[in-house]
C-alpha cells in the first residue's frame, strides 16, 4: 500500500509510476485520493472541535448548577447532548471515509523503481545475463511429460480423475527426485546463504493475505478454505428471526459469514513468511531477517486459458522453496541482488543453463517495486521459462502489515522493506532436470548435486 503523504507530496511521480504500469485513469485516481483525504481531515478537525466544545460545555454545566442557574444548565445540557450525537455521527463518517480511502489505496499497485524498464508487457523485459550453455543432443529432445509418461512415473490421467485438470501424480523415483530437489535447496539456503528454515501454516487468514497484497484485488486467483454454514445451521439461526423483524435473515447470515475472517490456502510461502513481522516493531540490530520454507502452494488461476495445458508448467498445486528477507530501506537494493544470487546458485549447482531478466513496468507483480526473473533453459520446448522471481517490494507490503523497525538510537520507527523470491520453484526444477539430463533411451541422468539425496542413484530409467 502506498503512503498517502508520499502520494500528496510527489504527485508527478505517482502519476508517472501508474502510467508506466498501465494503470487505468491515474489522474482521476489521484484526484479521488486527495479529495477523500481532505474530507477525512476535515471530518477529524470537526470532531476535535466538537469534542473540545463538549468538554468545555460539560464543565460549564457544573458551574451553572453550582450558581443555581438552571436555565443556563438546561441550555448547556441540551448542547452537550447535541454534541454527543454530532460526535457519534462524525465518528461514523470518519470510519466510512477511512475505509473508502483504504480500499482505494489497496487496489493501487506499487510504484516502479526508477531503473525498471518501461513497457507494457514481457516483450519489454531486459536480459541482464546468460549463464551456462544449453546442451546439444544427438536426438530430438522430449518435453518432460513425454519423458515422465514413457517412464510410467508421471500420471496426469489419474490426477484428473481425482482432482480435475492441472494436477499430476508423481511416482517412485520421480517423486523422490522432486523431494530431493526441495531438500537440496533448503540445505543450500540454510547452510550457505544464511536463511532460517520455517515450517509455516498452509492456511492463513484474510488479513495475512491482505498484508502481502493477494487480497482484495486477486481474490479470484486464490483457493478459499472458509467454512460456510450448512442449511441446517442457517435454519437454527433463523429461529431468532423475531429479533430481526423485517430483515432477510438468511441473506444477513450469509453476508455475516462472508464478512468474517476466512481461511485461504497459501499461493506461496511468501504470504506466511513475510507476515511473521506483521504488527511488530523490530530492533534494527535484528535486521536483516532471512527466512526460507519449502511448501505446497495453491493457485486457482493457473495461467492463460489454453496455455501450458499439458505437463507441469502451470498447475493448481505445486511445490516451491521460498526466500523472504526483511530489511532496512538502505539495504534492500543490496539484499535484492543477494537474494537473486542465492536463487541462481541453485541452478549453478544443478548444472542448468539459465538467464536473468529484469521485468518491465507492465510485467512485474502488483506489490513489486523491481523484479528479476530467472529463466531456466528447457530443451523440450527450446526456450527459457521462468523458474524464479525475486522482487523488492520496498515498504509497500510493510504498510499493509504495519511492520516497522526502530533504527538504532532513534525514538521514531520506520517501515521495513520486504523482499521475496523463489529459491526455486521445485516442480519447474524437476522439469528442467528431466529435460536437460534426458538420455537417448528415455532415461534421466541424475545431477551430481542430487545423488546424495537419491541414495547414490545415477539415473532414472524405465523398469525392464
Surface-to-core class of residue 315, CB atoms within 10 Å of its CB (0-12 exposed, 13-18 middle, 19+ buried): buried
For the question of residue 428 being annotated catalytic, the response is: yes
Which pLDDT band, with edges at 50, 70 and 90, does 245 fall under? very low
- Asked whether the beta carbons of 228 and 257 are under 8 A apart, the reply is yes
Find the angle CA(304)-CA(107)-CA(219) to the nearest 5 degrees.
50
Q: Is the pLDDT of residue 243 over 60?
A: no
Q: How many helices and strands (H and E) does the chain possess?
A: 14, 18
Active-site annotation holder among 299, 338, 400, 404: 299
**Residue length of the chain:** 464
**Whole-number Å distance between alpha carbons of 455 and 21:** 49
**Whole-number Å distance between alpha carbons of 434 and 357:** 23
For the question of residue 197 being annotated catalytic, the response is: no
355 — phi, psi (to 5°)? -140, 160
**Whole-number Å distance between alpha carbons of 324 and 187:** 16
Determine the pLDDT at residue 46: 95
Q: Is the pLDDT of residue 178 over 60?
A: yes
**Whole-number Å distance between alpha carbons of 427 and 442:** 19
For the question of residue 166 being annotated catalytic, the response is: no
Radius of gyration, CA atoms only, the chain: 28
Q: Is the pLDDT of residue 242 over 50?
A: no
Which residues does 110 contact at the CB level (< 8 Å), separation at least 6? Answer: 2, 366, 367, 368, 369, 393, 394, 396
**Whole-number Å distance between alpha carbons of 308 and 431:** 13
Nearest to 122 by CA among 344, 296, 358: 358
Active-site annotation holder among 345, 386, 406, 443: 386
Nearest to 154 by CA among 312, 352, 350: 312
Report DSSP state, residue 438. B
Report DSSP state, residue 171. -
With b for 16 or more beta-carbon neighbours within 10 A and e for fewer, the 363-386 pattern comes to bbbbbbbbbbbbbbbbbbbeebbb
The enclosing H or E element of 223 equals strand 223-224
Q: Is the pLDDT of residue 139 over 50?
A: yes
Active-site annotation holder among 176, 314, 338, 404: 314
- Asked whether the beta carbons of 297 and 269 are under 8 A apart, the reply is yes
**pLDDT per residue as tens digits for the range 386-420:** 999 999 999 999 999 999 999 998 889 999 999 99
With cell 450448512, the residue in question is 230
CA 248: distance to chain centroid?
36
Determine the pLDDT at residue 228: 61
- Asked whether the beta carbons of 254 and 289 are under 8 A apart, the reply is no
Mean pLDDT calculated for residue range 317-343: 98
Report DSSP state, residue 450. G
- Asked whether the beta carbons of 326 and 289 are under 8 A apart, the reply is yes
Which residues does 234 contact at the CB level (< 8 Å), separation at least 6? Answer: 250, 253, 254
Report DSSP state, residue 412. S
Mean pLDDT calculated for residue range 317-340: 98
3-state secondary structure of 64: helix
- Asked whether the beta carbons of 112 and 364 are under 8 A apart, the reply is yes
* CATH 3.30.360.10 matches 4-106: no
For the question of residue 349 being annotated catalytic, the response is: no
With cell 499461493, the residue in question is 267
For the question of residue 299 being annotated catalytic, the response is: yes
Q: How many beta carbons lie within 10 A of that of residue 256, not counting itself?
A: 12
Q: Is the pLDDT of residue 374 over 60?
A: yes
Determine the pLDDT at residue 253: 47
**Whole-number Å distance between alpha carbons of 228 and 231:** 9
3-state secondary structure of 150: helix
With cell 445540557, the residue in question is 77
Which pLDDT band, with edges at 50, 70 and 90, does 226 fall under? confident
**Whole-number Å distance between alpha carbons of 247 and 200:** 42
- Asked whether the beta carbons of 350 and 377 are under 8 A apart, the reply is no
Question: Which class in CATH covers the domain with range 122-219+264-460?
Answer: alpha beta
- Asked whether the beta carbons of 321 and 342 are under 8 A apart, the reply is no
Q: How many beta carbons lie within 10 A of that of residue 92, not counting itself?
A: 11
Nearest to 213 by CA among 260, 262, 271, 258: 271
Domain boundaries, the chain: 4-106, 122-219+264-460, 228-261
155-164 long-range contacts, CB within 8 A, separation 24+: 156/310, 156/311, 163/316, 163/317, 164/316
**Whole-number Å distance between alpha carbons of 38 and 82:** 25
For the chain, what is the mean pLDDT? 92
**pLDDT per residue as tens digits for the range 42-83:** 999 999 999 999 999 999 999 988 888 889 989 999 999 999
Active-site annotation holder among 388, 389, 391, 422: 389
pTM for this entry: 0.88
Q: Is the pLDDT of residue 256 over 80?
A: no
Amino acid at each position: 500500500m502506498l503512503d498517502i503523504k508520499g502520494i500528496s507530496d510527489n504527485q508527478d511521480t505517482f502519476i508517472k509510476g501508474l502510467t508506466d504500469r498501465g494503470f487505468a485513469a491515474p489522474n482521476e485516481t489521484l484526484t479521488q485520493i486527495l479529495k477523500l483525504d481532505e474530507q477525512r481531515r476535515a471530518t477529524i478537525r470537526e470532531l476535535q472541535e466538537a469534542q473540545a466544545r463538549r468538554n468545555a460545555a460539560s464543565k460549564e454545566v457544573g458551574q451553572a448548577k453550582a450558581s443555581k442557574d438552571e436555565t443556563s444548565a438546561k441550555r448547556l445540557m441540551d448542547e452537550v447532548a447535541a454534541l454527543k450525537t454530532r460526535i457519534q455521527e462524525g465518528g461514523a463518517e470518519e470510519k466510512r471515509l477511512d475505509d473508502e480511502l483504504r480500499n482505494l489505496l489497496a487496489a493501487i499497485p506499487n510504484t516502479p523503481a526508477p531503473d525498471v524498464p518501461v513497457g507494457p508487457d514481457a516483450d519489454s523485459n531486459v536480459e541482464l545475463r546468460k549463464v551456462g550453455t544449453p546442451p546439444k543432443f544427438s536426438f530430438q529432445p522430449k518435453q518432460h511429460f513425454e519423458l515422465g509418461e514413457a517412464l510410467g512415473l508421471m500420471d496426469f490421467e489419474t490426477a484428473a480423475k481425482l482432482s480435475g485438470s492441472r494436477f499430476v501424480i508423481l511416482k517412485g523415483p520421480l517423486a523422490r527426485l522432486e523431494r530431493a530437489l526441495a531438500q537440496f535447496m533448503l540445505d543450500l539456503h540454510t547452510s550457505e546463504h544464511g536463511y532460517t528454515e520455517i515450517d509455516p501454516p498452509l492456511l492463513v487468514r484474510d488479513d495475512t493475505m491482505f498484508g502481502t497484497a493477494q487480497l482484495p484485488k486477486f481474490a479470484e486467483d486464490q483457493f478459499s478454505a472458509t467454512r460456510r454454514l450448512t442449511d441446517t445451521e442457517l435454519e437454527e439461526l433463523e429461529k431468532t428471526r423475531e429479533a430481526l423483524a423485517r430483515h432477510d435473515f438468511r441473506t444477513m447470515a450469509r453476508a455475516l459469514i462472508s464478512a468474517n475472517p476466512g481461511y485461504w490456502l497459501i499461493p506461496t510461502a511468501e504470504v506466511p513468511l513475510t507476515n511473521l513481522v506483521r504488527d511488530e516493531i523490530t530492533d534494527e540490530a535484528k535486521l536483516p531477517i532471512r527466512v526460507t520454507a519449502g511448501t505446497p502452494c495453491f493457485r486457482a488461476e493457473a495461467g492463460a486459458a489454453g496455455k501450458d495445458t499439458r505437463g507441469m508448467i502451470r498447475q493448481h498445486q505445486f511445490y516451491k522453496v521460498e526466500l523472504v528477507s526483511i530489511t532496512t530501506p538502505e539495504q534492500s537494493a543490496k539484499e535484492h541482488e543477494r537474494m537473486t544470487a542465492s536463487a541462481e546458485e541453485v541452478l549453478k549447482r544443478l548444472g542448468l543453463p539459465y538467464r536473468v531478466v529484469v521485468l518491465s513496468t507492465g510485467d512485474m507483480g502488483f506489490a513489486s517495486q523491481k523484479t528479476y526473473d530467472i529463466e531456466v533453459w528447457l530443451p523440450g520446448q527450446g526456450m527459457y521459462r521462468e523458474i524464479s522471481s525475486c522482487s523488492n517490494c520496498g515498504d509497500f507490503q510493510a504498510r499493509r502489515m504495519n511492520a516497522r523497525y526502530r533504527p538504532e538510537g532513534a525514538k521514531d520507527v520506520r517501515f521495513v522493506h520486504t523482499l521475496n523470491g523463489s529459491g526455486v520453484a521445485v516442480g519447474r526444477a524437476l522439469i528442467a532436470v528431466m529435460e536437460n539430463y534426458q538420455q537417448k533411451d528415455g532415461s534421466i541422468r541424475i545431477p551430481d548435486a542430487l545423488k546424495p539425496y537419491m541414495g547414490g542413484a545415477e539415473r532414472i530409467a524405465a523398469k525392464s
